[in-house]
Amino acid sequence: MPPRLRPTKAHVARPTIAADLTEEIDVSFLRSQVGYNARRAALHIIGVFMGRMQEYELKVVEFSVLSLLAHNPGLTSRHVCATLSIMPPNLVGLVASLEKRGLLERRPHPSDGRAMGLHLTPAGLALAQESEQAVAQLEIDATAKLSASERKTLIRLLQKVYD
């Protein structure tokens, strides 16, 4: 082992406490857990998402609803809630907001008087398609350290966790 330089005031720039000791902190236990890593990775990607999707004025869940309806016209609120694990009361305001923006319409369900079918307007469908393109690109960028093959493996393993 080579002799270390003496850590005198002359040598080091007197780092403040938190200097770069961050890297020396032992996070090995947390990093050995799937939950911790999945949460960190999700928050990382969501951070990139929020930055780029401001252009479309879409938050994460709003985008999910829009994309889901683009591929499944006429879904009811209950379907959307069950598919995306949203609590019904929390979907109400979200749908109202999208409706107010002219992106979707609530039509009475043909055979069930209680239900409302959710349909994207032409503007909503256009936004869904545009924003899906943006999300696909943003995801590639936010996970740039992954090869296409690794990305595919990662998705498969994540689905195995929650499916």
Partner DNA sequence: TATTGTTATACTCTATAACTATA
Partner DNA sequence: TATAGTTATAGAGTATAACAATA
Give the three-state DSSP class for 76. strand
**Three-state DSSP string of 12-44:** CCCCCCCCCHHHHCCCHHHHCCHHHHHHHHHHH
- In the region spanning residues 3 to 62, those forming contacts with DNA, defined by CB under 7 A, are 16-18, 59-61
Q: Site size for DNA, by CB under 7 A?
A: 28
Beta bridge partners of 129: none
Interface pick for DNA out of 88, 102, 123, 141 (rule CB under 7 A): 88
Number of residues that bind a second copy (CB under 8 A): 65
Cβ distance 70 to 132 under 8 Å?
yes
With binding defined as CB under 8 A, does residue 143 bind a second copy? yes
The strand pair at 75-76 and 104-108 is best described as: unpaired
Cβ neighbours for 109, distance < 8 A, ≥ 6 positions apart:
76, 115, 116, 117
Chain residues in the site for a second copy (CB under 8 A): 16-18, 21-22, 25-46, 49, 60, 64, 67-68, 71-72, 75-76, 78-79, 82-83, 85, 109, 111-112, 115, 132, 135-136, 139, 142-143, 145-146, 150-151, 153-155, 157-163
Chain residues in the site for DNA (CB under 7 A): 16-18, 59-61, 76-79, 81, 86-92, 95-96, 106, 109, 111-116
